[in-house]
Amino acid sequence: MERFLRNKSSWFLLCGVLVISVVAIKYGSNLQCSQCSHALCARPNAVSSQIKVRPAQTNPLSARKKVPSARTITRCTVRRKNVAFLKVHKCGSTTMSNILHRFALRYDLNVILPNKNNTSNFWILGALDNKIHERIIPVTPGQNYNILAVETFFDKRIFQTLIPNNPFILGILREPVERQASYVLYHKDVRTKLENQLKTDPYIFRTYPSSAPHMLRDYNFYARKWRMGNFIEKMDNEFDMIMLTEYFDESLILLKRKLCWAFKDIVYMTLNKNLKNTGYAISPADRDKILNTYKNDSLFYEHYKGIFFGEMSKNGVGFLHELNQFKLVLKLVRDYCTYVKKGDNSLIIPKSSWNERFRVDPNECRLMKLTEFPLVQLLQERQRNLYAASSQK
């Protein structure tokens, strides 16, 4: 050290370092401010109030905001029981119809059903007109219908005539390409015809023509010569919610929140699912061809997909937590209902931040697994018995 201090050049070096340090300390803030906005430079004190330095984080997740508890979220308190659902072909409608019909049984509600006795298409209500009351099973005098979930065409005026007490108007849509594939492979005769082709060429849509009825047909788009923009605006005003098949569980959580329902009201077993719709491929050209064929369906779907995503984002991260809990409950219910036997104990779903404690018994499982035809028959018999009992009083 002494040798270092005796060297003049070392003195000059040491002094230079000291001078630079003093300058940096004194003018460093001004030098830094010269790189910031003019407004901040004009008000040096604003720097500390507007720029906050985060402390070092050992866990990147800890920088995230604390997820709000489910208990802090404002919840509705009055369960809505009047729902009119537009059933759309190959869109998961049978599963949703099952949910609504079981809801009607659970809360002893009146269901709109075709007044047909095991005739052809006994489960189809069909086109709606001013004489629709003559074609449905009557309700007990003094009461109103609550649930509509059978095949028909959309007509809000008649929907509200059948269910007068402010019904929740619900629809459903599916991505057009996947819907077309599901429709083609759902029908046994068509699927059998394509099985040999699938073994050698998975691109079955190169030659197979589009065949699924347009989704907009069920929405009554073709009943009048609508312009697409005007029709979408009309549907925006007439539907309370349109579900998406690809986001079925997410749709159910949104519906649950809108209707003040509970998990027990929306648990389900997938029905009419085409288990053989794998093994095919769709090329970009095939996709474009299908979308061009169903151009209006695609525009309609994309519009409501945007609305759907917007609704999910508004519900915040709590929505994802509730969705995760719902999927866990569905897994428990499906495992139980798949292997349950008559006389087995009920499945108890414990209480959580997102659901009250509830039970699922073997009879509930039986109803969940009923396809459209036997469930409609069961409901028709029930509705006739209710009306007959009221007539004898």
What is the rounded distance in angstroms from the CA atom of residue 309 to the CA atom of residue 150? Answer: 27
What is the rounded distance in angstroms from the CA atom of residue 286 to the CA atom of residue 292? Answer: 10
Structure-model confidence comparison of residues 55 and 309, the more confident one? 309
In one-letter notation, the amino acid at residue 200 is T
Q: What is the pLDDT of residues 212-239, one digit of tens each?
A: 889 999 999 986 778 999 999 999 999 9
Q: What is the pLDDT of residues 62-118, one digit of tens each?
A: 333 344 444 344 567 789 999 999 999 889 899 999 999 999 999 999 999 999 877
In one-letter notation, the amino acid at residue 131 is K
By the 8 A CB rule, do 145 and 383 touch?
Answer: no
User: What percent of the chain clears pLDDT 90, i.e. is strictly above it?
Assistant: 58
What is the rounded distance in angstroms from the CA atom of residue 83 to the CA atom of residue 7? Answer: 95
What per-residue confidence (pLDDT) applies to 272? Answer: 63
- The residue behind tokens 């329902």 is 261
Residue 261, token pair as written in the block: 């329902």
* Domains and their CATH numbers in the chain: 81-391 (3.40.50)
Structure-model confidence comparison of residues 135 and 34, the more confident one? 135
By the 8 A CB rule, do 123 and 151 touch?
Answer: yes
C-alpha dihedral sign at 37, 41, 44, 45: negative
β-sheet bridge partners, residue 244: 173
Total length of the chain: 393
What per-residue confidence (pLDDT) applies to 76? Answer: 73
Q: What is the pLDDT of residues 10-26, one digit of tens each?
A: 545 445 544 445 444 44
Residue 247: pLDDT band with limits 50, 70, 90: very high
Distances (CA, A) of 4 to 7, 9, 12: 6, 9, 11
How far from each other are the two terminal CA atoms of the chain, in whole angstroms?
115
What is the rounded distance in angstroms from the CA atom of residue 145 to the CA atom of residue 109? Answer: 7
With 60 as the cut, is the pLDDT of residue 241 above it? yes
What per-residue confidence (pLDDT) applies to 235? Answer: 97
> What DSSP letter does each residue of 349-371 carry, written as one string?
EPP-SS---EEE-HHHHHHHT--
What is the rounded distance in angstroms from the CA atom of residue 191 to the CA atom of residue 221? Answer: 30
